[in-house]
Structure 1
Amino acid sequence: MKHLPKHVRPRWRYLAVGIEAWPDAGIERSDFQRALWFAAGNLLGDPGSADAGVRVVAYSFRDGRGEALVRARRGTVSRARAAVACVSAVREHPVRVCVRGVSGTMRAARERYLDGLDTPERRSDVAFDGDARDGVCRGENVDVVAGDDGWVGARRRDCGTDGE
């Protein structure tokens, strides 16, 4: 089969997406893709979802943080951004998803908006609720183990871990 001429090929835009979840969440690429398709289908309907053509082309997730590169057709970027914003849970793990930027090539999107994943600092001396607890520190954010209830998100200054 012959290749299509350049002016007939579909044009794509690439959305750089940041993902945050609790540190014990294990989210695979296929799980995120399924959640994205489900969100796009619910928001845009089947024809709109097919027109936008959202697809995860690159993905990495580790220790509660991740990045993805999502491909969308040119002209449907605003609808694709809205669909990404509708993702609130992946495999019953609550997530925070944000679009960091949009680019015309995968390379430019990676260089400008995806900074790689830093390794979070696991600590066992996080002061929270009058007790020392286990926690995971990522920059200014601290995720504290709250017993059987799961995790609680806080800031370093709330937990007394400033400057350490």
Structure 2
Amino acid sequence: MKHLPKHLRPRWRYLAVGIESWPDATIDRGSFQRQLWYAAQNLVGDVGSAAVDLTVLSFSFADGRGSAIVRVRRSEVDRARAVLASLDRVDGRDVGIRVRGVSGTVRACEEKYMGRGPKTPEKRDVVFRNAEQTAHVGPARVDVETDSAFAGATTLDI
């Protein structure tokens, strides 16, 4: 089956959503998605709900705080924000919903509004191969500047 041409594909926007509740609340992705669909159906009806096409792409919730990325059609962002504003309970638990921002791609949504972007590495002076070198230390890797290039290392190596 062939893909649709680019000008016929649906255009999407991605909403970064912050979720707050009581610390003992447990909310999962499925129940949040279900309540989101019910809220859309109650607020804008069946046809409007289908036009908005709300889908939860990523979801995390622990200790009363969480976040989600919700996909929505490009022309329906205002309706989607209204639906999210009308959502006040999930699984019988009170929730507070806040739209942190709207983006054109999932990656930009994560980086701008959810703090999942690339972290700039920290520069440190380290001892590597019995000599003092400069290292770029990131969350998952260490790159040590040698005379001619970089050497990949671990925190145990420096």
Residue identity opposite 2:5 in structure 1: P
Residue identity opposite 1:5 in structure 2: P
Counterpart CA distance in 1 for 2:23 and 2:46 is 33
Q: Show the 5 A alignment for 1:28-47.
A: 28-47=28-47
Alignment pair present for 1:89 and 2:94:
no
2:111 matched to which residue of 1? 111
TM norm structure 1: 0.70
**TM-superposed deviation, 1:78:** 0.1
Alignment pair present for 1:53 and 2:56:
no
Counterpart CA distance in 2 for 1:37 and 1:50 is 9
**TM-superposed deviation, 1:115:** 2.8
**TM-superposed deviation, 1:74:** 0.7
**TM-superposed deviation, 1:92:** 0.2
Counterpart CA distance in 1 for 2:77 and 2:49 is 12
2:71 matched to which residue of 1? 71
> Between the two proteins, what is the percent identity of the paired residues?
60
Structure ID, larger Rg: 2
**TM-superposed deviation, 1:64:** 0.6
Q: Name the Cα RMSD after superposition.
A: 0.8
Residue identity opposite 1:56 in structure 2: V
Counterpart CA distance in 1 for 2:85 and 2:9 is 28
Q: Secondary structure at the match of 1:75?
A: helix
- Runs of 4 or more above 3 Å deviation: none
**TM-superposed deviation, 1:41:** 0.6
Counterpart CA distance in 2 for 1:21 and 1:58 is 18
Deviations 1:30-56 (A, max 9, x none): 010011101111000000000000110
Counterpart CA distance in 1 for 2:89 and 2:11 is 29
1:18 matched to which residue of 2? 18
Q: Secondary structure at the match of 2:39?
A: helix
Q: What number of residue pairs does the alignment pair up?
A: 116
Counterpart CA distance in 2 for 1:31 and 1:22 is 16
1:156 matched to which residue of 2? none
Counterpart CA distance in 1 for 2:7 and 2:53 is 19
